Structure 1
Amino acid sequence: MLTRSNKDIFVRGFAKALEEKWQVDVQLKGRDSDEGVSIFAHKLVLASRSEVLKKILELDEFKAPSQPVEPARPSQQKGRRGVGVGPIVSFEKKMITERPKKKIRKNPKTFCCRGHYVMLKRSCETVTFSELKHEELEALVKFIYSDGSKLSAKAKEHVRSLYVTADKYEIPHLRDLCRNELVKSLNLSNALEVLELSLIPLDNALHDAAFSYIIKNLKTIVNSLEFKLFANRNTDLTVEIIRAFMARRNIYY
């Protein structure tokens, strides 16, 4: 049986806390997440990886992880409130109160205060990422909790959306890894889409790689339906491609 090295155990510390849902204090949802399905995470870890998420989690709605101790009461739930910050479009704060069991003294979450048994009422916010599907959000969270050395197989499946997300939430290292994967996986069917992707925002390295690939393979790409649709959306860029192709052709002939 394989045993983990001390380094592996150390590096996987955050990932293990995510898997075990240890001391989680925020729930994350994608735009298509099913009812009752969310990803539990830690505000501290999210804030340490992304300046944008840090600013969002510093809002008053997110600052207090727990409420003062008070007598146990039936469950109650507050309604939704919008948070107008960046791409986060919805915020929900759920108040979770558990009733003491019959054997109160054995319940570790029950406390005795001046002869009255009370329970700690916890709050757990829910943040919805409207621009990400649930699987894309899951890949993003797993990367945040990883050692960041490489993209997982799932992250590579959603590399285009993660590339945009990395820029939006200011996670430069993730953007670098996504760029490398996009360049490495350039082919006839995706080169035009990658070129468009490099413009929002402008990424010279990705743009140059995609542009050069298209010029080299324009004789094949120009006959595709994708090129026709691309030309309708990007007339000026199409002119640049044709000019570059003709200039390259004049050099060789």
Structure 2
Amino acid sequence: MLESDKFKATVGDIVTVTLSELKQEELEALVEFIYENGSVLSEKGKKHARTLFVAADKYDIPHLRDLCTEPQELISSSKLANVISILNLSLTPFNEALNNAAVRFVLRNLLAICNTAEFKSFVRKYPDLTVEIMKSSLTRKWKNIYF
């Protein structure tokens, strides 16, 4: 990532690296992770797990991506307001554990989530997955009624 010219600007002897999609505290968490040899996610890293997950994918840091979901930082933070964005994150690149947890959360809260703008956008972007979620919801509902 740091060797790529597309992130660097050189003025004299000073090299500047720009990661414009990260806010300062998020960037600090990323640098802290890299500096600490990538063994654990700090408290600051846990706070910004979603952003670090995206950055880890973009900058090809698979261990960071795994750490952002392994301790279930993203999964445990699922709320009606953010579950669709977490479901989106699980698709690029596909993360089975995160995807399963997000889909389960969506299924449990489908009526409330269906009315959100995020869900409507998700439906347009991922129609096939939306159909699978709906089928799972109906199957689950019928099982609860008849079994």
Q: From 63, 67, 78, give the equivalent of 1:177.
A: 67
Are 2:143 and 1:231 aligned? no
Identity of aligned residues (%): 48
Query: CA offset at residue 192 of structure 1?
Result: 0.9
What secondary structure sits across from 1:249 in the alignment? helix
Checking the alignment, whether the CA contact within 8 Å between 2:40 and 2:67 is kept in structure 1 is: yes
Q: Which runs of at least 4 in structure 1 moved beyond 6 Å after TM superposition?
A: none
2:92 counterpart residue number: 200
User: Alpha-carbon deviations, 1:7-65, whole Å to 9, x = none?
Assistant: xxxxxxxxxxxxxxxxxxxxxxxxxxxxxxxxxxxxxxxxxxxxx44xx27xxxxxxxx
1:247 aligns with 2:139: yes
Which structure: larger Rg?
A: 1
Counterpart position of 1:92? 10
Structure having greater relative contact order (Cα 8 Å, sep ≥ 6): 1
Distance of 1:182 and 1:140 partners within structure 2: 16
> 1 or 2, which has the higher strand percentage?
1
Q: Read off the aligned partner of 1:216 and give its amino acid letter.
A: R
Structure 1: distance between partners of 2:80 and 2:39 = 28
Secondary structure of the equivalent of 1:126? strand
Contact 2:45 2:52 in 1 (8 A): yes
Consecutive unaligned residues in structure 1, runs of 5 or more: 1-51, 58-82, 95-122
- What TM-score do the two structures reach when normalised by structure 2? 0.81
Q: Distance in 1 between matches of 2:113 and 2:17?
A: 41
The residue number in structure 2 matching 1:23 is none
Deviation, structure 1 residue 233 = 3.2
The structure richer in helix per residue is 2
Unpaired stretches in structure 2, ≥5 consecutive residues: none
Question: Which range moves more in the overlay, 228-237 or 163-172?
Answer: 228-237
Query: How many residues in Structure 1 have an aligned counterpart in Structure 2?
Result: 143
Match of 1:18 in 2: none
Q: Corresponding residue for 1:129?
A: 19
- Who is 2:111 aligned against? 219
How far apart are residue 199 of structure 1 and its match? 1.0
Q: Which residue identity is paired with 1:162?
A: L
TM-score (norm 1): 0.50
What is the RMSD computed on CA atoms of the aligned residues? 2.2
**1:181 CA displacement:** 0.8
State yes or no: 1:163 paired with 2:81.
no
In 2, the alpha carbon distance for the partners of 1:224 and 1:161 equals: 22
TM superposition shift of 1:147: 5.8
Q: Report what 1:139 is aligned to.
A: 29
Q: Which amino acid aligns with 1:247?
A: T
- What per-residue deviation string (whole Å, max 9, x for no partner) do you get for residues 150-200 of structure 1? 433332332222101112223222111211210121222211110001111
